[in-house]
């Protein structure tokens, strides 16, 4: 019952947004492309200021967090303590003997405390990938834990040699050109010149502060899919568009990229959930 209510709430919001956009479009038939882009950005800004449907997932996540025994999970601040957890991740965990970011840690804890096998964890984490209007419990857990760090500043401890090593590896992978189309992350996310995909302006690692703004709002609610996008799903989608093989969530590659991105974003205030087109 509760799920039906939540789903209809999301649909309602999405429909309202779509209607608003349609009326804006209908009024301005003879606009230049630049004007249209400006209007879409205005719509996004209004959505950003108003209610964010991503918060519904946080409510769901609060229940799922208990359901999967994650209150035993230590995010680096003590068992079950989620306030400020995202701000200090990725970090080195002595119990797993690995550097882990938030989602990898959740996956590890699901194996330890919820009795899942690695295959089950992967299926659980990717249940909403490639879909839209999907209410996933995994997305909900990530959203709940992330939102508990709202207002805190990203503070990855790069003095730790293990984290620093992952940071350097992530940096090299960021600039590694691979695949049949010669892509690297820097193809789109580097340089002083502005790069766009359609109307969306892409952040650049070379323009100061932009990496932080991009990273600190994840998981991010996407209006066009009517569901949130977690960081690992973002990596997977980027790599699909780069014509690389299918990305594996909770892998060392994801941790290395997270270490590089969150390490670069040090000092930025976390504002979860973000909202995007």
Partner 1 sequence: MRKTLFLGLLAIGLVGISPAQQKKQPTKKEAGVKPEEVRQVLLSGFEQDPKFLWKLEQDESQRICSQYPSREAMPAQAIQKVIELDNKNIVYPQWGIFWGDWKEGKKLVDSPRGGRFASYGFPIKPPTRAGTATPATS
The DSSP letter of residue 229 is E
Indicate which single residue of 114, 173, 199, 238 sits in contact with partner 1 (rule: CB under 8 A): 173
Q: Which is nearer to partner 1, 145 or 190 (CB)?
A: 190
Smallest separation (angstroms) from partner 1 to the CB of 222: 10
- Assess 241 for contact with partner 1 (CB under 8 A): yes
Torsion over CA: 70, 72, 75, 77 (sign): positive
Token representation of residue 277: 């087109």
- Assess 245 for contact with partner 1 (CB under 8 A): yes
Indicate which single residue of 252, 266, 269, 271 sits in contact with partner 1 (rule: CB under 8 A): 252
The answer to whether 134 and 3 are in contact (CB under 8 A) is no
Residue 182 CB neighbours (<10 A): 10
Separation of alpha carbons 139 and 233, rounded Å: 10
Contacts with 70 (C-beta within 8 Å, 6 or more apart), sequence order: 80, 106, 109, 110, 113, 114, 141
Indicate which single residue of 171, 211, 262, 268 sits in contact with partner 1 (rule: CB under 8 A): 171
Smallest separation (angstroms) from partner 1 to the CB of 78: 29
Separation of alpha carbons 242 and 208, rounded Å: 24
Region 253-272 residues binding partner 1, contact defined as CB under 8 A? 253-254, 256
Separation of alpha carbons 234 and 110, rounded Å: 21
Smallest separation (angstroms) from partner 1 to the CB of 66: 28
- Assess 225 for contact with partner 1 (CB under 8 A): yes
- Assess 201 for contact with partner 1 (CB under 8 A): no
Indicate which single residue of 130, 151, 209, 267 sits in contact with partner 1 (rule: CB under 8 A): 130
The answer to whether 242 and 179 are in contact (CB under 8 A) is yes
Q: At residue 225, what are phi and psi to the nearest 5 degrees?
A: -105, -10
Region 68-127 residues binding partner 1, contact defined as CB under 8 A? 126
Separation of alpha carbons 179 and 196, rounded Å: 21
- 185 catalytic? Reply is no
- Assess 182 for contact with partner 1 (CB under 8 A): yes
Indicate which single residue of 40, 150, 191, 271 sits in contact with partner 1 (rule: CB under 8 A): 191
* Secondary structure class of 31 (helix, strand, coil): coil
> What would the x/- binding string for partner 1 be over residues 12 to 41, using CB under 8 A?
------------------------------
User: How big is the site for partner 1, counted in residues (CB under 8 A)?
Assistant: 45
- Assess 192 for contact with partner 1 (CB under 8 A): yes
* Tokens 């820097």 found at: 186
- Assess 206 for contact with partner 1 (CB under 8 A): yes
Among the listed residues 16, 259, 227, the one whose alpha carbon sits nearest the alpha carbon of residue 161: 259
Q: Which helix (H) or strand (E) holds 80?
A: none
Smallest separation (angstroms) from partner 1 to the CB of 131: 6
Q: Which residues are catalytic?
A: 238
**Using CB under 8 A as the criterion, which residues of the chain lie in contact with partner 1 when the complex forms?**
126, 129-133, 165, 168-169, 171-173, 175-182, 184, 186-187, 190-193, 205-206, 224-225, 236, 240-241, 243-248, 251-254, 256
């Amino acid at each position: 019952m509760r799920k039906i209510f939540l789903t209809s709430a999301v649909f309602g919001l999405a429909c309202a947004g779509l209607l608003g956009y349609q009326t804006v479009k209908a009024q301005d038939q003879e606009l230049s492309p630049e004007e249209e882009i400006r209007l879409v950005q205005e719509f996004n800004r209004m959505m950003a200021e108003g209610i964010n449907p991503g918060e519904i997932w946080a409510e769901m996540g609060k229940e799922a967090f208990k359901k999967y025994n994650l209150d035993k999970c230590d995010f680096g601040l003590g068992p079950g303590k989620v306030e400020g957890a995202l701000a200090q991740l990725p970090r080195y965990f002595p119990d797993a003997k690995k550097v882990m970011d938030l989602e990898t840690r959740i996956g590890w804890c699901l194996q330890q405390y919820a009795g899942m096998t690695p295959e089950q964890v992967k299926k659980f984490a990717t249940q909403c990938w490639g879909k839209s209007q999907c209410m996933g419990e995994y997305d909900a857990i990530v959203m709940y834990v992330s939102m508990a760090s709202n207002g805190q500043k990203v503070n990855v401890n790069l003095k730790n040699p293990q984290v620093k090593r992952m940071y350097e590896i992530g940096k090299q992978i960021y600039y590694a050109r691979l695949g049949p189309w010669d892509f690297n992350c820097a193809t789109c996310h580097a340089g002083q010149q502005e790069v766009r995909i359609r109307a969306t302006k892409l952040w650049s690692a070379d323009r100061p502060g932009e990496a932080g703004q991009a990273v600190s709002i994840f998981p991010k609610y996407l209006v066009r899919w009517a569901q949130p996008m977690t960081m690992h799903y973002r990596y997977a989608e980027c790599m699909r568009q780069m014509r690389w093989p299918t990305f594996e969530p909770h892998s060392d590659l994801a941790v290395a990229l997270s270490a590089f991105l969150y390490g670069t974003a040090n000092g930025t205030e976390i504002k979860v959930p973000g909202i995007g087109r």
